[in-house]
Amino acid sequence: MNNKEFIIGKLKESEFAKLFTNVTPSSREDDMYLHFDLTISAKIDVKSMKKGARYDPRYNENFHWVELKNVRGEKSWLFGEADYFAFETEDYWIIVEKEKLQHFIDEKIKGKEIGSNKDPYELYRRTNRKDVITRVKTIDLIYLSLTLIKKE
């Protein structure tokens, strides 16, 4: 993750936190190793919109990347300590329970090998990294969601 992405991620965490009155940000260690950003009454990992590729001019709200293994080949945020994920779209935050997302992804990727295809639910590894990621359709996240929260 480059510095610009880090800053954008922190800004999105702050933006999401403003929707609540009693928010505690995670420590740097909790963010890095336990994989959650905020504690409200639960641990929430905030996921900002991403581009399909670095060269894309705009962010794309129609899909989100889900990390199965991080760049070190270790447990990713999908298996971290967060209870929920808050996925950003242009107008909403999509709140998804961790276990529901884990089961959904598990069903979608069964029997698939890591390749270079970036299509939804294909396993992908970036060059010279140990990560394993997949694209998830935002419409599927909405289907799985606990709730949607309108952005202010």
The per-residue pLDDT for range 33-64, each reduced to its tens digit, is: 999 999 988 889 999 999 887 889 999 999 99
**Average pLDDT of the residues in 130-138:** 96
**Average pLDDT of the residues in 120-144:** 95
Closest CA to 138 of 79, 80, 84, 96: 96
Q: Residue 1 gets which letter from DSSP? A: -
Predicted local confidence at residue 39, as pLDDT: 92
How many structural domains comprise the chain? 1
Predicted local confidence at residue 1, as pLDDT: 62
Residue 106 predicted with pLDDT over 90: yes
Q: Residue 18 gets which letter from DSSP? A: T
The backbone torsions φ and ψ at residue 29, rounded to the nearest 5 degrees and listed phi first, read -65, -45
- The stretches of 51-152 forming alpha helices (DSSP H) are 98-109, 138-144
Sheet containing 24-25: which strands, arranged edge to edge? 24-25, 38-39, 43-47, 84-88, 92-97, 147-150
CA distances from 139 to 20, 41, 136 (A): 25, 26, 9
Q: Mean pLDDT lowest for which of 4-18, 83-97, 110-124, 134-148?
A: 4-18
Predicted local confidence at residue 44, as pLDDT: 93
Predicted local confidence at residue 21, as pLDDT: 67
Q: What pTM, to 2 d.p., does this model score? A: 0.80
Predicted local confidence at residue 152, as pLDDT: 84
Estimate the share of the chain in helix, then strand, then coil, as percent rounded to the nearest 5: 30, 30, 40
Residue 112 predicted with pLDDT over 70: yes
First to last CA, the chain: 27
User: Residue 92's domain spans which residues?
Assistant: 3-150
Tokens 């090998």 sit on residue: 113
Tokens 């001019």 sit on residue: 57
